Amino acid sequence: MKPQMSQRIQFSLAYMLVAVLVLSLLQSWLLAPRTVELPMSKFLELLRSDKIEKVSLTERELRGLARQGALPAQPATSGDRLRQLLGSDDDLRVFTVTRIPGIDEQWLVAELEKHRVEFAGRVETTFWRDLLFGWVIPLAVMIGIWMFVMRRFGGGPTQALSFGRSKHKIYDRKELKTTFGDVAGVDEAKAELIEIVDFLRNPKKYQRLGGRIPKGVLLVGQPGTGKTLLARAVAGEADVPFFTLSGSEFVEMFVGVGASRVRDLFEQAKDKAPCIIFIDELDAIGKSRAGVTGFDGGHDEREQTLNQLLAEMDGFDSSRGDNLMAATNRPEVLDQALLRPGRFDRQVVVDKPDVRGREAILRLHARAVVLASSVDLAVIAARTPGFAGADLANIVNEAALLAARKEKVAVEMADFEEAIDRVVAGLEKRSRVLSDKERDIVAHHEMGHALVAASIAQADPVHKVTIIPRGVAALGMTYQLPTEDRFLMTRSELEDRIAVLLGGRVAEELVYGEVSTGAHNDLERATEFASLMVTKYGMSERLGLATYGGRMPLFLKGTGTPWNGEREYSDETARAIDEEVRAILERTRDRVLGILTTKKAVLVAGAAELKRTETLEGERLRRVLAGEGMETSA
């Protein structure tokens, strides 16, 4: 019999026993005759009036039966009505009298004999009462509290005694319909995983030559790149059961629970072979154990869980078709024992998509969306460099919601533009009212960015300029549209990026003779680019090819242990770095000032047009930046 079925039977029997006990107690209470408490004086009065039939004597009380109609009338209760419905005698004849301490026993017996009352002695016992109130009721209360707590924190009473059972979800062949057709933009990762699918479908093809499938496949990538979707697609393509759970579900407060859950997971997977086990966020249990040597501190429960996982992977027989897949976005913190051959043999990098991959992802998510003929997904893909698959899916959904809110019949290009702006910069803050002077400063600032970008050769083309506030602190935005994805950048290209970032600050200085606080983010990014050029990219003739910065000691590399070591260069070198960074920024600032001084008339006219329309894009923006219809002055 399966463990889950046997537990259901056990708890069903327990529920039945409790119900029978409660019904028995209720029946005995309802069918018991109603008793009237009499004072000793009233009892003696009834006794001397010959209205007592029977009396039972104990050390504490007298319990007897009076003649019919002798006892005083009592108000009816709900229990009396239930007794009447059940056929119980509703005549009040049973009474009890509390004995007075020190009463003469012989005198009471003499009185009973005188009035010819049948009497007898009874040894008082409290066994059943003690059992009920001392054991049954407290035990029932404890069981009720225990079941309530387990239902709230343990997922139900059937899991109260099964902390060590795995909390995985399993999808069988009928439920799992995700295939590689539902995944786009990660062609290299899919090509790596096709071999896993082929082995699960045709294991004899590989076993014939002595080959074996990798025991473990680790999917490495940033959040939102589609690691979980790829794992589901592998199981869907191979048509095998899919066990999935998060690494955090192994770790509990009690030491040893996680290890027990790992054992239970692999035991259940053996019964379902061939299958795929997928552990998401592996770093929750797979962090490096080097911390116990004194650098990071230890965690007994997590380490025992990791040790059990390593042991199960050593005994994992992939020849049956079982395969372990895991995902993480922090591979640098994983324990080296997990990554050695024989455990996670293969690492598949799931990177962010390029422009063609982004277009494919957009087409995939746009299949269920009604698109207008003006929508160009290639332009949207070009506008979203660095976006992951989840970000692109969010953009498509946001655009559909915006179009529905405006009661459109199809999603238009403007809806996608607005959705991208929402994701990149946040919601519009039209309630944020700027003064005329602030709007004027913001307009010249953004036009300075746009003019510099349009005037240098290696800058990305300007797509849109707006002074509508967005997000927390953005009072305006200048959007550039990359023509292609870049993986390498030259020194001149980096300097051009710094020039575009400084365009807004220099424009304020040129027009107003002073600067505002609006350029703080531009200055941070420009300084970061300049610092990287000097310390990491070897683009400073004065400092040469060396890189500078605190480097992690060799014995800590690969352990996942954080290192906040001090710099490895002298004060003179630090001073030289500061001077080189400042020189790059000053040299670029002079270059930008020359460009904007030459085109000051275009800057002023473009700022005026931007204040009037709040947003410039497309052909209108091109004409403004080209200075068409106006005379430029040197």
CB atoms within 10 A of CB 592: 26
Burial, 214: exposed, middle or buried (Cβ in 10 Å; 0-12, 13-18, 19+)?
buried
ω before 274 within 30° of 0 (cis)? yes
Provide the strand spans (E) within 205-361: 216-220, 242-246, 276-280, 323-328, 346-349
CA angle 422, 427, 430 (to 5 degrees): 135
Whole-angstrom Cα distance, residue 360 to residue 351? Answer: 15
The closest of 288, 196, 189 to 229, measured between CA atoms, is: 189
Amino acid identity of 568? E
The closest of 106, 130, 101, 81 to 40, measured between CA atoms, is: 101
Query: What is the spatial order of strands in the sheet that 477-480 belongs to?
Result: 477-480, 462-466, 615-617
For the chain, how long is the longest CA-to-CA vector? 138
Query: Do 371 and 411 touch, CB atoms closer than 8 A?
Result: yes
Whole-angstrom Cα distance, residue 158 to residue 156? Answer: 5
Q: Which two tokens stand for residue 632?
A: 């430029």
Whole-angstrom Cα distance, residue 55 to residue 95? Answer: 9
Q: Which residues contact 243 (CB under 8 A, 6 or more apart)?
A: 168, 169, 170, 265, 268, 269, 272, 275, 276, 277, 278
The closest of 234, 227, 237 to 185, measured between CA atoms, is: 227
Look at the block and give the residue holding tokens 């890189």. 547
CA angle 558, 563, 567 (to 5 degrees): 120
Q: Which two tokens stand for residue 399?
A: 């655009």
Q: Which two tokens stand for residue 54?
A: 């029977």
Whole-angstrom Cα distance, residue 598 to residue 632? Answer: 8
DSSP 326-385: EEES-GGGB-HHHHSTTSS-EEEE-PPP-HHHHHHHHHHHGGGS-B-TT--HHHHHHT-T
Tell me if residue 175 is catalytic: no
Whole-angstrom Cα distance, residue 328 to residue 218? Answer: 8
Q: Regarding beta strands 242-246 and 276-280, do their DSSP bridges make them parallel or antiparallel, or are they unpaired?
A: parallel
The closest of 622, 608, 288 to 436, measured between CA atoms, is: 608
Query: Do 128 and 134 touch, CB atoms closer than 8 A?
Result: no
Q: What is the C-alpha radius of gyration for the chain, rounded to an integer number of angstroms?
A: 41
Strand partners, 327: 219
User: What's the chain's length in residues?
Assistant: 634
Q: Which two tokens stand for residue 460?
A: 């990305």
Catalytic one of 301, 303, 417, 446? 446
Q: State how far the alpha carbon of 161 is from the alpha carbons of 15, 170, 484, in Å.
A: 16, 21, 58
Q: Which two tokens stand for residue 441?
A: 């400063």
Whole-angstrom Cα distance, residue 62 to residue 124? Answer: 11
Query: Among all residues, which ones are annotated catalytic?
Result: 446
